[in-house]
Structures are given as structure tokens and as C-alpha cells.
Structure 1
């Protein structure tokens, strides 16, 4: 299968769609009785009066989520290929993106994090363009606005503001205007929200939006390790990919090296941002999938022994299906 997706062949569009539905076979087989979907954070709902909480039946919810993941995979695949992060253009980024969004049952339904991934993929594209832009102030301003929009959908998305400064450190020489531009873009969106709350004599509620920023990072985690055994094959592939990347790191283009450094920090920031949501769900970690998928794709794009990487991917798929059904 990996060898097939190493080719930029249009027929892989069909295979990718089939793979997306195959990886979700368990949830189509065991459809939950009820699924909620909150499209926006509570503080944003008065502005956009759309209620999707009970708009879809469970099977419709799962089907739409699968289609959205497929669309995201295609967009993500194109962006990674355009920026030449892998050895050659392929469908591996899209394949790994779908694989990453199939690890847990909670990943397979509509959620704010799933919708936010459209914006996260867009942000990744803009970050990777920073080194190619003569004047990136407008780009950084746009990134700030995109992060603000993502925050309206899912509050922990705000943590991506940190990535603006990390990206500027990696890709640009210091320019204070660029550092300010991202914050201005973010504040612009919330300025209009503040005006709305002010007009409705409810400015106290606007201040309450920022209360999660005062949360302390948890020192103790309650984890049922049996629920995360599915991550073992993922960890093995990530270790192999890291070794492969380390071997080729200084032989790669500077832009490629910086791109992988950016995605590594984005993975960490996306994972750690869960503390901004007091009652977060496992689907929060969908935000880690785009940067993580690039690393997985890098290994399979550069692996040499076909029997090994094909067997490894087959074991990965079978283990995911096993733990989902069991």
C-alpha cells in the first residue's frame, strides 16, 4: 500500500477515500446512540446564531466527519508537497493524516478540533511561506486573524499564537513590526467581539472569556494506559522517522530543516494546550495530527526496505483496528 501512495497518481484519490472509510469501519458498525456537536465556543454563539448540537443523526455526524477528514487530507497533502518537505511529491501526507485521525473513536466524529484543523492546516501553509516572502507583515497579520477565528471555534486554538513568534525566530530576521502584526491581527477579531458585548451591556462576560488563561498546568494526570496502547506502533514509526530525519538533517535544504523544526514545536504546543479547556476531550489531540502526520510521511517516503515498511504499515493498520474493536 505504501508503495502505491508514494506515487502522485490520481487513482490514489479513490484509494484514499476508501482508506478513510475503512479505518472508520468500527464506528460505522457500532454507531453511538447520540452525538453532540458544538460548533462554537459559548462566548461566540451570540454572534453566530447557529445550533448544530442536535442537527445531525449519529450516522450523518460520522459520515460528514469522514468526508471532512478526506478533504482536509487532500488540502494537507497538497500543501506539504508544494513546500517540498518530503523526498518527492506523493500521497503519503494525506494517507498519514487519515491514519492519525483514525486512532481513537473520539477522533471520528464531528468536533470543534476537527473543524479547527482546517484553520491549522491553513496556518501551516502560511508559516512555511514566511521564508519566501520579502515583506511578511501582512502574512503574519493574517495568521493572527486565523488563530482568532480558530479560538472562536475551540478556545485552546489560541495557543497557536506562540507559534507565530517561534516561526518568526526560525524563518525571519528580527523585525518588531512583524512580531506585533500577529497580535494585532488576533486582537482585531476580539475587538469587534468586545464591542458586541459592550453594546449589549455584558462586558463582564467578555472578561470571563480569558479566565482559562489563568489555569495552572496539571501536575497529576489520570491515565488509563490500556486506552492508549494503540499509540505503540505510532511511537515506533515516529522513532524510526526521527532517526531517518537525524541522518538526513544536514543534507536537507535549510527551508526543509526549519519546516520540520516548526512542525515539531507545533506538535508540542498543540498537545500541551489542552489545559486551556477544563473539561477537554480526547478529540483535542486532533490538533496534533497535522504536524505529526508529516513526520510519519517522512519515514515512509525515505524508507528503503520495501518489505519492512509495508509490513510495518500493515501492522499499524491492523493494530488500530484491533484496539478500536476490542
Structure 2
């Protein structure tokens, strides 16, 4: 099996998908309905509320979405490792290993806010690795900030990963004030647009922040 994924063959994308399906058959066969926690963000709650009717009629939907996210994470990590030449030659072993590890973790078998957050983080790490000597760094920096800002609206503790972006920018780019401002504007943009939507739809009265609630008198 490992010999197959040592080759850098495009058909391995399909073989990797089949490999992942075999590993994750137990939780695909016995789907678990996702729940919400206090740390889950607004977007995650909206997502669960939106797909809940379909999930009730088709219980495997939640497991399928979770598997697709895991598969995308595996491909993203594999591309990152190959692009950075962390192995002697490009192959699909990182993706294979990731699918194998996640198949042993019960928490990764359920659609959850941390799982969605992890998908964003893989993409953010991939983009950070492209920043070194990139001629147009500001666009990538803004996209990174916006991705992190969106991710925190799925999972509030994701705010801690602002430190990841700060460290990543410090390592990969010489200090440019405009790029740092661009990054933080990107982080704030999703919250700004979400707040604007809340305001325009007149939902401020029942709007909740973590541990804070605004109630009409």
C-alpha cells in the first residue's frame, strides 16, 4: 500500500479517496448527529441549522461532509509537504498518513466546528508558505486574514491562531506596515460584513456574543 502512494501519480488522488473511504467506513456506516457547544461560532450554528432537515432525512450527510473535509485537509497537507520539498521526492504518503491518523480519532468522525477550523488552518499554512519572496504579498496576506476571520466565526477559540499569522508574517516577510494592516483588515472583514448583515436585518436585539447578550427592554 505504501509503495503505491510513494509514486507521484495523479491517479493516486482517486486511490487516496478509496483508501480514505475504507478507513472511515465505520463512522460513515454509523453516522453521528453533530451538536453545538458554547465555543461554536455563528457560522457553524447557521450551517447546522441549515442542513439539519436534510441530515434528518439522510443521516449519512453529516458523515459525508466530515469525510470530505478530512480528505481536503489530507490533500492540502500533501501539497504543502511536496511544494516545500520536505521529502526526497513528491509522493502521497503525507496524505495517506493523515487519513490513517484521523481514522483513529473519534473526534474527527463527526462534523464539528474544530474540524471546519482545521480545514481553514491547512489552507492558511499553505498560503503562509508561499509568502517568502512573493512579489504580490499583500493579496495573499489579505486572503490569509480573511480566511482566519471566517474560521473564527465557525469556532471562536480560533482567535488564538492570530498568533500563527503574526509569527508566520514575521518569519516569511520583511516588516512592512501596509502588509500587517492588510492582514488585520482581512481578519476583521468577515466580522464586519456579518455585523452589517445583523444590523440590516434588524437582529441586534437578540444578538449574542460569547458570554454577552443584548436583550431589548
- For normalisation by structure 1, the TM-score amounts to 0.55
- Larger relative contact order (C-alpha < 8 A, sep ≥ 6)? 1
Residue 33 of structure 2, aligned match among 16, 32, 35: 35
Asked if the contact 2:63/2:110 (under 8 Å) is kept, the reply is yes
How many equivalent pairs are there? 207
Asked if the contact 2:138/2:179 (under 8 Å) is kept, the reply is yes
| Cα distance between partner residues in 2 of 1:198 and 1:24 | 42
Give deviations 1:265-312, integer Å, cap 9, x for gaps: xxxxxxxxxxxxxxxxxxxxxxxxxxxxxxxxxxxxxxxxxxxxxxxx
Q: Which residue of 2 aligns with 1:144?
A: 145
Distance 1:128 1:92, change over 3 A: same
| Cα distance between partner residues in 2 of 1:47 and 1:22 | 31
Asked if the contact 1:36/1:54 (under 8 Å) is kept, the reply is no
- Within-5 A mapping of 1:122-141: 122-141=123-142
The structural deviation recorded for 1:44 is 4.1
Greater fraction helix = 1
RMSD across aligned C-alpha pairs, in angstroms?
3.1
Q: Which residue of 2 aligns with 1:178?
A: 179
The structural deviation recorded for 1:162 is 1.1
- Within-5 A mapping of 1:1-326: 1-28=1-28, 31-32=30-31, 34-36=32-34, 41=40, 43-44=42-43, 51-56=50-55, 57-199=58-200, 200=202, 202=204, 205=207, 208-209=209-210
| Cα distance between partner residues in 2 of 1:77 and 1:113 | 20
| Cα distance between partner residues in 2 of 1:110 and 1:20 | 16
| Cα distance between partner residues in 1 of 2:22 and 2:140 | 38
| Cα distance between partner residues in 2 of 1:42 and 1:173 | 33
Asked if the contact 1:37/1:52 (under 8 Å) is kept, the reply is no
The structural deviation recorded for 1:150 is 1.0
The structural deviation recorded for 1:124 is 1.3
| Cα distance between partner residues in 2 of 1:49 and 1:2 | 37
Unaligned runs of 5+ in 2: 213-217
The structural deviation recorded for 1:131 is 0.4
The structural deviation recorded for 1:24 is 1.9
The structural deviation recorded for 1:42 is 5.4
The structural deviation recorded for 1:148 is 1.0
The structural deviation recorded for 1:133 is 1.0
The structural deviation recorded for 1:110 is 2.0
The structural deviation recorded for 1:153 is 1.8
Unaligned runs of 5+ in 1: 212-326
- For normalisation by structure 2, the TM-score amounts to 0.78
| Cα distance between partner residues in 2 of 1:49 and 1:73 | 24
Task: Report which stretch shifted further, 82-91 or 42-51.
Answer: 42-51
The structural deviation recorded for 1:27 is 2.7
The structural deviation recorded for 1:165 is 0.9
| Cα distance between partner residues in 2 of 1:15 and 1:192 | 40
